[in-house]
Structure 1
Amino acid sequence: MALQARLVITGRVQGVGYRDWTITTARRLGLTGWVRNRTDGAVEALIVGEDAAVGEMIAACRRGPALASVDNVDIEPVDLDVLPEGFRQLPTA
């Protein structure tokens, strides 16, 4: 069973390459899911994968790419019936 989590990352996380960095990092870790900007200035991500890879992704999201300044990562466990394929960017919500 894959671990599933929804992350809401706040701070200076838009306009700094955070979504592209998230996609690259998630794919490297073998995760599936998505990432998108939110209208409130946060970045939201759904990550699905093995426990260790999800943990590594959460730790990476706390740091972010070089130009980001992460204030907080809110983590919410989810339980999806249909798991996403691949890792992609969604439109702003």
Structure 2
Amino acid sequence: MNDKLYYTIGKIAADKHESITSKLADDTATEQDKVHALLLDEIMALAKNRLSVEKNERIAEKGGDVWVERTSESHYPHIRLHGGALEDDPPM
């Protein structure tokens, strides 16, 4: 996928999240809206996590001091299934 498509998908998801959040506040959300809201909440949280991971990895690659949680001395947390870090091992 290209960057424009990713941006458009994200924009639509954010717009839909805002719409559903408004329905929730007005107490007019359907059960399906509530399920969609949970999914969009998760997607948005994972996107924020992915950006944070990428930022920290860029800083670490340049020798900067960043906080990283490790599951052991040898690798970073395994969170591929949740969309955060793409690899277990730190960048070389």
TM-score by length of 2: 0.24
Which of the pair has more CA radius of gyration? 2
More helix by share: 2
More strand by share: 1
Q: Which has the higher contact order (CA 8 A, sep 6+)?
A: 1
